[in-house]
Amino acid sequence: MPGKGIRNAVYKRAGGKGQSSRFYNIYGKVVKPTDPTGFKGGQGWTAPKPQIGSMLSLGIMKQNRNAGGNNVCQPGPKNPCVPALTADNIMTVGTTTNGGPVFGYGAPTSTVPAGSLSPTSFAQDPLATVVFIYWIPTSTPGSISQLDIVVDYTAAGLAPTKSSAFQTISFVNCDDQSVRTYSAEGATGFNNTTITAVQWTWNAAPNPFNPQENAFWTNAVGKNIKVIFDSTSKNIIGDYCCNNNDCKCRGPLAQCPCRKGGC
């Protein structure tokens, strides 16, 4: 006869009084009674002797019974992922054809895609309004591809200089983890002769076009990309995009780990 301490331990363990003939280990797999490294009958789990271990098996057994099966290690809700930094504007990239594709946002015309921008106000001056943002690639050798940004400063009442409105502007496509950043000082063209159409232009390398720019804007069509002015982030993708795929898992005593490969 076992000692009183061992006998009491057996009674406290799941299956010690014959409550169940099927048990699961912590990864949700059935452990057969014939497994030499697992159970000895229905008296315990993961150990040959039922008096060794914790009360975790009792919680598993009760949850199996109440739920009608083993759902102990099913994934719980994913953690909500909130980017560390917020973009100034969100632009849905549209496209149209003007002797070739044109990508971006603007009042719909024969040369500028509709797209959308929220908000339409200019981040560096809430009284100014973004009229156009569009990328015009070309596959014609010797021609120049370009990005144009046109801002209406009528309400603001004063047109900016080339770099007084912003130092940099970044476009971030979180879907494919890509980003393009343009420097105001690096703009090859600037026109502020009228406050109703202040324009920055960046010419990309010709012959036939800048492949990085073309790939970015082509892949962005129909996507909501983030527009960021004067970002000081050293990890712009990590700070502005939601890429946290961690998950919460549930189980007795919160000891149920996520399965291999994620939830």
d(CA 54, CA 97): 69
Residues 145 and 58 in one domain: no
Least confident range of 50-59, 169-178, 212-221: 50-59
**Predicted local confidence at residue 10, as pLDDT:** 60
**Predicted local confidence at residue 261, as pLDDT:** 40
More confident residue, 55 or 121: 121
More confident residue, 31 or 78: 31
pLDDT grade, residue 83 (50/70/90)?
confident
* Sign of the C-alpha dihedral computed for residues 158, 160, 161 and 162 taken in this order: negative
What is the mean pLDDT of the segment spanning 191-217? 80
**Predicted local confidence at residue 115, as pLDDT:** 86
| Residues 139 and 209 sit within 8 Å (Cβ to Cβ) | yes
Residues 39 and 168 in one domain: no
| Residues 82 and 89 sit within 8 Å (Cβ to Cβ) | no
Does any domain span residue 27? yes
**Predicted local confidence at residue 228, as pLDDT:** 96
Residues 100 and 161 in one domain: yes
Residues 203 and 105 in one domain: yes
Residues 110 and 157 in one domain: yes
> Where do we find the tokens 């040369």?
111
**Predicted local confidence at residue 23, as pLDDT:** 55
Residues 75 and 93 in one domain: no
Helix-strand-coil split of the chain, %, nearest 5: 15, 30, 55
Residues 55 and 156 in one domain: no
* pLDDT value at 25 more than 80: no
d(CA 28, CA 257): 11
Highest mean predicted confidence (pLDDT) among 104-118, 124-138, 201-215, 226-240: 226-240
First-to-last C-alpha distance (Å) of the chain: 46
What is the mean pLDDT of the segment spanning 242-253? 48
More confident residue, 27 or 121: 121
Q: What is the mean pLDDT of the chain?
A: 73
Instruction: Render pLDDT for 96-143 as a digit per residue (tens, 0 to 9).
Output: 876 668 888 986 565 667 789 999 999 889 999 999 998 887 655 455
What is the mean pLDDT of the segment spanning 217-227? 93
**Predicted local confidence at residue 215, as pLDDT:** 87
> Where do we find the tokens 């000082």?
185
d(CA 19, CA 37): 21
pLDDT grade, residue 82 (50/70/90)?
confident
Residue 46 CB coordination number (10 Å): 17
| Enclosing domain of residue 65 | 4-79+247-254
Does any domain span residue 260? no
Nearest 5°: the CA angle 81, 179, 107 is 100
Provide the 8-state DSSP code for 229: E
* pLDDT value at 183 more than 70: yes
Residues 12 and 134 in one domain: no
Residues 168 and 136 in one domain: yes
**Predicted local confidence at residue 254, as pLDDT:** 46
Residue 229 CB coordination number (10 Å): 17
| Residues 113 and 107 sit within 8 Å (Cβ to Cβ) | no
**Predicted local confidence at residue 53, as pLDDT:** 46
Q: Write down how long the chain is.
A: 263
Does any domain span residue 236? yes
Amino acid letter for position 137: P
Instruction: Render pLDDT for 142-180 as a digit per residue (tens, 0 to 9).
Output: 556 788 999 999 999 999 999 999 999 999 999 999 999
pLDDT grade, residue 95 (50/70/90)?
confident
**Predicted local confidence at residue 190, as pLDDT:** 94
Sheet strands (E) in 142-229: 146-152, 168-173, 178-183, 189-191, 198-203, 224-229
